């Protein structure tokens, strides 16, 4: 799994002109799922996201986690994170999970985050044409690949 995490002061996602999910301060997370991903990736990556110390403390040092600041998450599925651009100019998405696998893992990821956060996670809609808006706070943007955890 690949996650691109952006610290935001606000973020929202619209589908067909209607807001599907929105948050204030917190994290907007783009999540790419590949065929090789499993429950271990979900557990490791979700814990990493909610515990990342990327929020400012009283001295302005990035020393607090999402849990510490009681922030929210907007989670968006994005298969294009697994694009391979090694050959030619048209990206290949061969590593991205097929929809049946990806949907199951995406829903499990949402449940895991909700369990760890103790609140509802805002989301987009898997496979939909989404319009994502955000105000990146910092800016702070971090990319994490669960296959690089060791």
CA separation for the pair 20, 30 (Å, rounded)? 15
Rounded Cα distance between 136 and 63, Å, is 18
> Catalytic annotation on 79?
yes
Contact partners, residue 146, CB within 8 Å, separation at least 6: 1, 2, 37, 41, 44, 45
Q: Which of 6, 55, 78, 123 is catalytic?
A: 78
Q: What is the largest CA-CA distance in the chain?
A: 49
- Show Cβ contacts of residue 143 under 8 Å, excluding neighbours closer than 6 positions: 2, 3, 4, 5
80 is catalytic: yes
Q: Which of 80, 111, 120, 141 is catalytic?
A: 80
Q: Which of 6, 55, 79, 122 is catalytic?
A: 79
Active site residues: 78-80
């Amino acid at each position: 799994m690949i996650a691109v995490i952006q610290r935001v002061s606000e973020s929202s996602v619209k589908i067909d002109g209607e807001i599907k999910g929105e948050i204030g301060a917190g994290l907007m997370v783009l999540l790419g799922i590949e065929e090789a991903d499993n429950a271990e990736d979900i557990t490791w990556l979700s814990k990493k996201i909610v515990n990342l110390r990327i929020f400012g403390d009283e001295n302005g040092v990035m020393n607090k986690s999402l849990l510490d600041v009681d922030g929210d998450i907007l989670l968006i599925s994005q298969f294009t994170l697994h694009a391979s651009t090694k050959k030619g100019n048209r990206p290949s998405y061969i590593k991205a999970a097929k929809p049946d696998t990806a949907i199951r893992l995406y829903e499990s990821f949402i449940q895991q985050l909700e369990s760890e956060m103790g609140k509802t996670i805002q989301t987009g809609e898997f496979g939909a044409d989404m319009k994502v808006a955000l105000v990146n706070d910092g800016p702070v943007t971090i990319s994490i690949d669960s296959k690089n955890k060791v």
